[in-house]
Each structure stands twice: as C-alpha cells, then as structure tokens.
Structure 1
Amino acid sequence: MELLGERIILNLKSRFFDIISTEYHQLQYDAILEDMLVTIKQLMHAEEVTLYHYDERNQQLVVEASTNSEVKRNFVAIHFSYEDHQEMRLYRRPFQFHAFNHYDLLIPLRNNERIQSYLVLKKEGQLFSQLTEQVLEKLSVECGLFLQKAQKLTKLFVEEKRYKQLFRVTEKVHSTMNMKSVLGEIIDSLQAVYPTFTYFLFLSQDHKGYEGLPIKEFNYTSKNKEIMQSYVTGTIQFEVSITERKSILYAPLKGKQGVYGVLQVTSPNTLVFPKNEVEFITVLANTAGGAIENAQLYEQSKRLIADLQLINETSHHLNSNLRLTETMFYMSKQIVKSLAAEEVGFIQFSSAETQNDVQQGSTSFFFTDEAKPYIKYVKERLLKEKESLFIGDLKLSSETTQLSTYKSAMAVPMSQSNVLNGFVLVLHHDPYAFSFDTYKLFLSLIHHSTLAFTNTLLREKLEKLVVTDHLTKLYSRMYLDEQIQKSMQLDEGATFILIDIDNFKVINDTYGHQIGDEVIIQVSKIIHSNIRGTDIGARWGGEELAIYLPKVQIETGVKIAERLVQRVRESTNPTVTISCGVTCWKSEVQDNYQDLFKRADNALYLAKKTGKNKVVRQDS
C-alpha cells in the first residue's frame, strides 16, 4: 500500500508540473483548476472531484471547480460556520454535513496552516480504502502547494499582461497631443483590464467635445467629500456603499504642475476594493494625468502662438492708415472669427453722461433698440468700476431678475489719457460661452487696438477740421471745389445749388452780428438735415451757402431747394428767407467747373432780383 501511495503522489507531482509548464491555457486560473481536478480524478480512480472554496468573511462555501459540470452550474453558496471550518480534519469517511454527505473523501487544502479550500471526491472503486493517512496527508500538502503556485503564477501572468497594457497605453498616449485620443485610450484600457468595473473621468478643465466618453465636469461644490479630497490632496480615496454592495476608488489625475481631474472606478459586489488593483489603477491614473498635462501644454502653446500671430497681424493692419470705418469693420471680423463671438459693438461716448454713438463696423444688433439696455448696463458698470467686464451669466439689472437674451458678455473700455471714450462689447447667447483665455486674448486685442483707434479718430477729426467751416460745420469752399472737379471727371452728371440768405444786412443791423451768425448756423443745420451723406453742403462765403448733389438730376435738385426755402422760412428765429439758384451739368455736354458756378450765380441773382424767397433754375 505504501508503494501504491508513493506512486500516486509521484505521478500527481509530475502531472502538476506538466500543467504549470504547459502554456496552452495561457495560465488562466480556471483552466488550471480544471486540469488539476481531472488529473486527481484519473489518479484516484474517482467518479467526481470538486473543489470548494471557503469564503471566511461571508462564512460560505463556494464551488470553484468540478469535474461534474452540473455541480458548478447548479450549486448555490451555502452557509458554513467558522466553528465548523475550524474543526475540519482529514476524513476518510463521508463527512456528516449536508454539503459533503454524498462524498466519500474530503481533503482540506491549507495555505500557511489555514484551511482555504476543500477537495472532495466521490469514489468509483476501492482505492480510497487502500490509502493510508500519510498518503492522504501528502496528497493534501501537494494539492495545497499546487494551488498556491497556480495562484502566484496566474497573478504574475495577469500582472505582466496588465503592465504590458500599461506600457502600450503609456507609449500611445505620449505619442499624441490630442486630448480626446488620450482620454479614449485610458478608458479603453480600463475596460480591457476590468470589464466588470465602471468608470468616470471628472475633469477640472473644459470637457466639451469629448462626446462618447464617460466624462463629467468636475463640480467644485460637490458634496462627495471623497472626490474632493482626492482632487485637493492628490491621493487615492475610497468609498464604500453597503446598500449597493460596491466599493469605489478615486484616483487623482496628477501631472507635474497640478491635478487635472479624478478617475472614479467602481468595483461591483465587493465592500473592499481589491488591493492588487489599486496599484495598477494608480499608475494608470498618473500616466493619464501626465498625458493630459502634456496635451494641455501643447494646446496652450499652440493657442499662445496663434494669439500672438493674431495680435501681430491685427496691430500691423491697424497701423496701415485705414479709415475709422474700415478699422472697425476689420476688428469686428477678427473678433467674431477669433473669439467665436455672436455680436460685436464699438460704442463711443458723445457725452459721458448722455449719448452713445454706435460706430460703423458693429454688428447689426447694436443698431437696434434691443441693444440699448446692454449698452446702458455695461456703460454704467464701466464708469463705476473702471475695469473690464467678464460675465458668464448676464442679468441686466442686479436689483431685478430681468432676463437677457445674451448670457455671456465681455467689455473692454477704450481710454485716452485716463479719459474713458467708449468701450468694445462682445456678446453670446450661451452662458459661460467665453473661456478666461478668450477673455485675455480679447483684452490684448483691444489694448493693442485702442491706440490705433484713437490715432485714426484724431486724424479724421483733423482732416475734417481742415475741410470744415468753423462756424457752420459745413464743408469749406476749397473742399467743395476739389470734390466738384473730381466728380466732373468721374460721374455722368450732378446738380449744384447756390443759396443766399435774403436781407442778411438788415439782420446784422437790427439784431447784431452775433444773431447774424446764429441765423447762418440755423440755416446750415437745416441744410445738413435735408441732404444725404454723399451730398456736400458747404459755406460759399459770408451769408452764401452751397450744395452739390452728385449723380442727381436737376428736377430733384429743384425739389430739394424748394423744400429748403420752405423749411428756412418756417423754422428760423428770427425768421429769414433764402433764395436759391439751381443748375446742373451732364457728361454728354461740354461743360466746365467755372461755367457751372457762373450759371448757378446767374440763377441766384435772378431769384433775388425777382422777389427773393424762391428758387430759380438755369439748365446747362
């Protein structure tokens, strides 16, 4: 019998060695257990061999493997008290416990003197009765050692696979600077290694554009203290949900310069997060944090380069002697394109307390009544706070809950010599549509542009002063002469009106020269309000004024002159009248600058000679 037992043990060790050295099952623990039980069944001539694992925490017996497929398929974990477990010995007879009472042999398997598993056999012949206690003890020892080695080997194999996966992930995420690719690779790796776990990435930065990934915005007011603790301290935190029977790990996504979020990993059906998984997830989270940091630094450097190029290009363009309107249109286009703004307004103060002028180049919204509350609100805050505004959820009044169509707003004052001349306002319908980086770029653009705006404005004011009559604010005669000569070279025709204030000497003699000047000013304002922006109103000399109407036929010019005669008669104080001489030129008729003036002067002379307060027409 001793020889038989020794031969069984020797064959068992040899077969166990073959199982470990064979790689066809890729060292999967379940496959190794099945091979182990089949080997024992063959050597022991058993009908069935089953391995039970003792779950000490739950005091349960669980089937780990069996040569009888029905056993594992139908077995339900059963209660097995700790006292029963402690009293277990080597039995050669059926154990009087309902879980084992239909087996013929039970062999406890130890790990460091503690019984962790039970090997139970159902006999097929008489071999069991022929084995001595010593042989069964050796069988127990060899099977226990084999299980320990199998567990260690499979653990090493799994760890090797995981770290190969980690190496592959590290290599891949550090080879790309695309944030979505980095985050997607992290999630894919977790799903490959832990298919039963669930994951979420809580990012402290903008998480838009990552659709399809389990990503949430990091909420700084979150009541989840574990996630906040992990983010603030940069350490692993754990949470246990007894009611849902799950444990949660929070791993910070750390880089060299800070923490960029938190990885949440949920392990189901366990109240203690597996220790052997913590290290791997920690390393993976650190890898993710480093990759996120690199990707963000790369994106930041690209953005800074693009911003500098934009500022340089804009500054160069603005200093190329553009007209003010051209400057505003160019800046509006740049702001809409670079800042993704929906509306851009350039507001200039006509008076610090009253009027606001919306400059050409602003988007159409700012020329509507709907824009006035926004302009008023921003102006009041700028005058009060003297600082740029960056608003993510705009309410037009702090005292009421007045709703605004546009939720996001940025405003930068335009100042010269510490005097606030106006501001630039950009708007967007969505709340928090502008990032802080966008705000900083906006500040830089406007600060670099303000000097160009001011210089252009001053240059155009100076140009206007040169060509403008000081008293009437109409154009000077020199400017009128230049524009008529240009028009006669380029246009196909135009109408010219020469105007004289009737009995002006009587006004001066009766009321004085100051009132006389006031009368000239009143008549000039009426002229200015009754002509187009393309028409030219000018002071001809003394009380004589003139109007040049490019591309206007003489019939229309006569109607305009008649309207002016009526308006002056009805609106002036003291009441005065005017006389008008109207003429025209056409490209098909040989004509010149001097003859045009001469005809208008003759028509004016005839109007004054025949009763005044009238319009006389003289064609070419």
Structure 2
Amino acid sequence: MVHSEHKIIIKLKSHFLDIIDTENGFLVYEDLLLNMLKSIQSLINAEEATLYSYNNCKQQLLIEASTKLIDDQQKISNNSILEITEKVKEKRNVQRVFSGFEGDGLLLNLKRNDHFLGVIALKGNSGAFVQFSDQVLAAISLESAKFLDKAQFLTKTASEEKRYKQLFRVTEKFHSTMNMDDVLGEIIYTLQEVYPTFTYYLLLSHDNNKLSDLPIKDLEYDSENIAAMQAYVTGNIQLEDSIQNKRSVMYAPLKGKQGVYGVLQVIAPNTLVFPNNEVEFIALLANTAGSALENAKLYQQSKRLVADLKLINETSHRLNSNMRLTETIAYMTEQISSSFDAEEIGFILLSKNGSQKEILRGSTDFFYKTDAEIYIEIVQDKIEKEKEALFIGDYNLPDNLPVKHYKSIMAVPMMQEGVLKGFALVMSKAPYHFSFETFKLLQSLIHHSTLAFTNTMLREELEKMVVTDHLTKLFSRSYLDEKIHKSLNEDQEGTFIMIDIDNFKMINDTFGHQIGDDVIIQVANLINANIRGSDIGARWGGEELAIYLPGVSLTAGVLIAERLVNKVFESSEPQVTISCGVSHWSKGRKDSYAALFKRADKALYVAKQTGKNKVIVQENDIVLEKA
C-alpha cells in the first residue's frame, strides 16, 4: 500500500513537471491551475476539483479555478475560513468533513513557508477517498502547494519579463517622438496593457490639460491631493493606503533632470499595501516618461523660441520700413491676432497727463464702442499706478454691467524714456486663454515696437507741421498745390474755392491783430467742420483761404461755398463776412492748374467788387453770381 501511494506521488510530480512547459515561452497562470486540478482529479478519481485561493485583503476564500463550470463567484463564510486557518496552524493539511463545503468529500489545505495559500476541494462518490491515507493526501497537499507557489513564481517572472519588454518598447517609443501628447498617451497605453485591473490618472497643470481622450486631471493643492502635491514638490514616490476602501494608491512623479512635469496616479484595488515589485516598475516607467516629457517640452520650447524670435525679427523689420502709423497698428493687430489667437486688440495713446485717450486706427472695431470704455479705464488706472504689464486669466466685471465679458486680459504699457505713452490691450472671452509664454512674447513685441510707434508718430507730426499752417491748422499752400496737381491727373472732376474775409483790415484796425488772428482761426475751423476728410482746406495767404474738393461737381461745390458763407455770417464773433470765388474742371476738357486758379481768383475779385458776402462762379469767360 505504501509502495502504491508512493507511486501516486511520483506520478503527480511528473504531471506537474509536464504542466510547466517553459520551452514554448507561454505560461498562463489560469491554465496552470486548471491542469493542476485535472491531474489531482485524475489520480484520485475525483468527480470535481476546485481551488479556493485565500485573499488576505478581503479575508475571504474565493474560487480561482475549477474543473466544473462555475456560474457565480462563490465565497466561504468567515467562520469556515477561521476554522480552516486553525487546522492549518495545527498542521492538519487534510480534512474529510468540513462545514462550508457540504457536498465535497475532501479538503486539501495549501500552505507554503507558513503562508496560507488556500484550499483544494475534491468531490467524489460516497467512500471514494477512503482508500487514500491521510499521509498520501497530505503529500498531495504539500506537492500542490509547492506547485502553486512555483506557478505563481514562474508567471510572476514571465509577467515581469513582459513588463520590462514593454518598458524597453515604450522607452524606444518615447525617444522616437518629441510630441508631449504622444508621450502621455503611451504612458496610459502601457499601464493598461500591463495592469488591466488598475486605475490611472495623469495629474497635470492647466497648460497641459488638453487631451480629452486621456484620464487627465488638474494638479491642484487641496485636502484630497496632499500626497500628489508631495510627490510633485519633492520628486519622490508617495504611497497612500486605505483600509476602509481596501485599495492602495501610488503617486509617481514624472521627473526629468530639470524638474517635475506632473504626477502619475495609480490605484491598485483590493490590496492594503502597494506591491513592491509593481512600485519598482511603475517608478521606472514614470522616470522614463518624465525624461521623455522633458525632452519633448524642451524641444517644443526651442521651436517656440525660434518662432518667437522670428516673429519679433519680422515685426521689427516691418516696423522700421517707414510705414504710416495706421499701417503699423493694423500690421501689429494682425500679427497679435494670428500669433496669439486673440479676439480683441487695441492700441491706446495717452496724453501727457493721462486725461485724454486716443484709440489708434488699426485697433479692432470693439475699441471704438462704448463697451470697451470700462476695460480701457480699468487697465489705464492699473498701468498708471503700477507702471507694470497686466496678465489676468479670469477677470470678472460687476454683474450689473451690460457689456461683453472678456475673461483673459493682457495689457502692456508703451514706455519711451520712462514716460508712459500708452498701452496695448489684448483680450479673449475664454478664461485662461493666454499662456504666460504668450504674455512674455507680447511684452517683447510691444517693447520692440514702442520706439517705432513713437518715431512714426513724430515723423507724421513733423510731416503735418511742414504741410500745415501754424495759425489756422489748415494745410499750407504748397500742399494744396501738390494735391490739385495730383487730382488733375487721377480724378474725373474737381471744384476749387477761393475765400477772402471781407473788410479784414478794418477788423485789425478796430480790434487789433490778435482779434484779427482769432477771426481767421474761426473761419478756418468752420472750413474744417464743413468739408470731408478727403477735401483740402488751406491758407492761401494773409486773410485769404482756399478749399479744393476732389471729385466734386460744380453744383455741389457751390452749395458748400454758400453754406460756408452763411455759417461765417451767423457764428463769427466779432461778426464778419466772406466772399467766395468758385471754379471747376472736368475730364476731357483741356484745363490746367493755373487756369483753374485764375478763374477762381477772377470770380473772387468780382464778388469783392459787387457787394461782398457772396459766392461768384466763373466757368470759362462767363461769370455767374450765386449770392
């Protein structure tokens, strides 16, 4: 009998050796357990064999493998587990009758190195296992425990080999890309493949939270994220165990040589302590990913810096190409809009004491509306007080203001030799729309542009002074001559008006030259108020003024002259009158600047000689009175 039982143990060991086939490279833990049970079932003629593994976290025996079909996961009561554990302590590895396993004929307790692994429940016909002594069954129990321990070791080794192959693969992938999104996606993909039952999150800052298809959460400091923040700040792994939730959480910093770029959160369910071998692998993965993220970030930063320098260089080159101020502002607005994806861009010029503001032409249309006034006033007040640029990610206006709400605001002062000339204001409705790098680039752009703005304004002001009469602020006669010559070549028609203030010598003699100058200024202001932006009002000389209306018919020109005569009579103080001589030219008729002037001058002479305070028109040799 002893010899026969010895043969059974030898045969069982032989079966176990056959089960573990390491040559083909495939070891599936579930298959190993099932083949182990089938070998035991065959040797002792059992009808069914079921392995109940002991889960230390849940303090339960749970079915892990069986030769019968299992519909539902079965578990054994705590009392039965306690009783089994006591029997194991008594070194009783075989139990023929046991509560909680009714219907099974035999229990083999599995113990290895004082560690309880579980039990094998065997079911057979009545008296099926009587022929086997407790000694041989204990030997089967011992060999089964050895096999189970070996299977766990081999599958663990195979699993680790697979994981490190994965780590090698993912490292190759990391070093083949400079895209941060690809690196983050590869981290999650690798973890899902190696630990399908774990849960993972990437804890990143707002700037990186862009991938909606990845489990990304904001890295924020609060009572629930203390361990995560410790991992981020210290660069060391943090573990957080929860007995109540029966889970363990690992926070692995994504660390490079220059800093920490985020935290990988890994949640292991049904365990009180995070497994050491898993900690090592995840730490290696996180460190590898951190280096890859750093390389990708540095590469993207270098690309962005190159693009920023290119933008500044191109902008500086264009601004130094003698563009007009309106063209300069329009160009800057376009550059900022395309580079920063900004919705509203405004350039605001301030007077010396800040009491007056001018929206420079080329700003977006919003800044010419009343809704913009509140933003301009708030930003002006802050910049004048602090003399610093503003960077606001989520600005809130008072709720009772019925204006458009812009959340993201950047404002950069335009300083020249320590003097505040104005500021650039860039806005977007979305909160946190602009990055800090964008803000720094805007500062550089405005810093490099301010001198060009100032020079352009000074140049245009100088140009205007050259072509503008100092007293009346009307254009000079030379500028008028230039524009009339140009119009004769480009337009279809035009009207010329010569104006003379009646009895001007008497005004000077009666009131003095200062009042005389004031009268000239009054008439000049009325001229500017009654002509278009494309028309030219000029001082001809002394008390004589002139208007040229490009593209305007004689009829329309006469109406403008008559309106001006009436306005001067009604609103001048002291009251004065004017006389007007009008001439006209049209395409297809031989004409010249000299002839146009001569006709207007002759018509003015007629007006002065026939009563003054009237409009006279001379077309060819015909003089028409329009008073």
What is the correspondence of 1:371-382 to structure 2 with a 5 Å cutoff? 371-382=372-383
Contact 1:222 1:228 in 2 (8 A): no
Q: Partner of 2:623 in structure 1? A: none
Contact 1:62 1:78 in 2 (8 A): no
Q: Partner of 1:267 in structure 2? A: 268
Question: Quick one: structure 1 residues 87 and 227, their matched pair in 2 at CA, closer, same or farther if it must change by over 3 Å?
Answer: same
CA distance in 1, matches of 2:553, 2:368: 32
Q: Partner of 2:159 in structure 1? A: 158
Question: Quick one: structure 1 residues 366 and 59, their matched pair in 2 at CA, closer, same or farther if it must change by over 3 Å?
Answer: closer
Q: Can you list the C-alpha shifts for 1:538-582, whole angstroms capped at 9, x where unaligned?
A: 110110000111111111111111111111112221111111101
What amino acid does structure 2 have at the position aligned with 1:568? V
What is the correspondence of 1:107-506 to structure 2 with a 5 Å cutoff? 107-122=108-123, 129=130, 131=132, 135-221=136-222, 223-395=224-396, 405-506=405-506
CA distance in 2, matches of 1:38, 1:227: 47
Deviation at 1:461, TM superposition (A): 1.1
TM-score under structure 2 normalisation? Answer: 0.92
Question: Quick one: structure 1 residues 312 and 24, their matched pair in 2 at CA, closer, same or farther if it must change by over 3 Å?
Answer: same
Question: Quick one: structure 1 residues 344 and 30, their matched pair in 2 at CA, closer, same or farther if it must change by over 3 Å?
Answer: same
Structure 1: any 5+ residue segments left out of the alignment?
none
1:538 is paired with a residue of what secondary structure? strand
What amino acid does structure 1 have at the position aligned with 2:461? K
Structure 2: any 5+ residue segments left out of the alignment?
621-627
Over the aligned positions, Cα root-mean-square deviation in angstroms equals: 2.5
Q: Can you list the C-alpha shifts for 1:166-186, whole angstroms capped at 9, x where unaligned?
A: 222222132112222222222
Deviation at 1:127, TM superposition (A): 8.4
CA distance in 2, matches of 1:344, 1:62: 67
Question: Quick one: structure 1 residues 460 and 222, their matched pair in 2 at CA, closer, same or farther if it must change by over 3 Å?
Answer: farther
Q: Partner of 1:527 in structure 2? A: 527
Question: Quick one: structure 1 residues 451 and 145, their matched pair in 2 at CA, closer, same or farther if it must change by over 3 Å?
Answer: same
CA distance in 1, matches of 2:404, 2:40: 80
What amino acid does structure 2 have at the position aligned with 1:502? D
Deviation at 1:501, TM superposition (A): 0.5
Could you tell which deviates more after superposition, 548-557 or 270-279? 270-279
Q: Partner of 2:76 in structure 1? A: 77
CA distance in 2, matches of 1:505, 1:43: 139
Contact 2:333 2:362 in 1 (8 A): yes
CA distance in 2, matches of 1:223, 1:104: 51
1:618 is paired with a residue of what secondary structure? strand
Contact 2:333 2:363 in 1 (8 A): yes
CA distance in 2, matches of 1:585, 1:105: 124
Deviation at 1:15, TM superposition (A): 1.6
Question: Quick one: structure 1 residues 190 and 472, their matched pair in 2 at CA, closer, same or farther if it must change by over 3 Å?
Answer: same
Question: Quick one: structure 1 residues 464 and 619, their matched pair in 2 at CA, closer, same or farther if it must change by over 3 Å?
Answer: same
Deviation at 1:291, TM superposition (A): 2.1
| Aligned pairs, number | 618
Contact 2:57 2:272 in 1 (8 A): no
Q: Partner of 1:540 in structure 2? A: 540
Question: Quick one: structure 1 residues 228 and 309, their matched pair in 2 at CA, closer, same or farther if it must change by over 3 Å?
Answer: same
Could you tell which deviates more after superposition, 578-587 or 55-64? 55-64
Question: Quick one: structure 1 residues 101 and 474, their matched pair in 2 at CA, closer, same or farther if it must change by over 3 Å?
Answer: closer
Question: Quick one: structure 1 residues 438 and 29, their matched pair in 2 at CA, closer, same or farther if it must change by over 3 Å?
Answer: same
CA distance in 1, matches of 2:389, 2:340: 16
Deviation at 1:43, TM superposition (A): 2.3
Could you tell which deviates more after superposition, 280-289 or 523-532? 280-289
Question: Quick one: structure 1 residues 147 and 182, their matched pair in 2 at CA, closer, same or farther if it must change by over 3 Å?
Answer: same
CA distance in 2, matches of 1:152, 1:382: 69
Deviation at 1:310, TM superposition (A): 0.6
Q: Partner of 1:595 in structure 2? A: 595
2:272 is paired with a residue of what secondary structure? coil
Question: Quick one: structure 1 residues 114 and 185, their matched pair in 2 at CA, closer, same or farther if it must change by over 3 Å?
Answer: closer
Q: Can you list the C-alpha shifts for 1:212-240, whole angstroms capped at 9, x where unaligned?
A: 11112222346432222222222222334
CA distance in 2, matches of 1:216, 1:115: 40
Q: Can you list the C-alpha shifts for 1:490-519, whole angstroms capped at 9, x where unaligned?
A: 222110000001100011101111111111
Deviation at 1:336, TM superposition (A): 0.6
CA distance in 1, matches of 2:380, 2:59: 74
Q: Partner of 1:518 in structure 2? A: 518
Contact 2:395 2:409 in 1 (8 A): yes
Q: Can you list the C-alpha shifts for 1:394-415, whole angstroms capped at 9, x where unaligned?
A: 3457x99997521221111222
CA distance in 2, matches of 1:304, 1:173: 23
Q: Partner of 2:554 in structure 1? A: 554
CA distance in 1, matches of 2:272, 2:603: 106
1:18 aligns with 2:18: yes
Contact 1:95 1:101 in 2 (8 A): no
Contact 1:496 1:584 in 2 (8 A): yes
Could you tell which deviates more after superposition, 59-68 or 478-487? 59-68
Deviation at 1:6, TM superposition (A): 2.6
2:425 is paired with a residue of what secondary structure? strand
TM-score under structure 1 normalisation? Answer: 0.93
CA distance in 2, matches of 1:9, 1:69: 27
Contact 2:93 2:138 in 1 (8 A): no
Q: Can you list the C-alpha shifts for 1:126-178, whole angstroms capped at 9, x where unaligned?
A: 88555556544543433222222111101001111112122222221321122
CA distance in 2, matches of 1:585, 1:498: 15
What amino acid does structure 2 have at the position aligned with 1:472? T
CA distance in 1, matches of 2:320, 2:380: 28
CA distance in 2, matches of 1:388, 1:533: 36
CA distance in 2, matches of 1:465, 1:90: 111
Contact 2:347 2:425 in 1 (8 A): yes
2:20 is paired with a residue of what secondary structure? helix
Contact 2:582 2:604 in 1 (8 A): yes
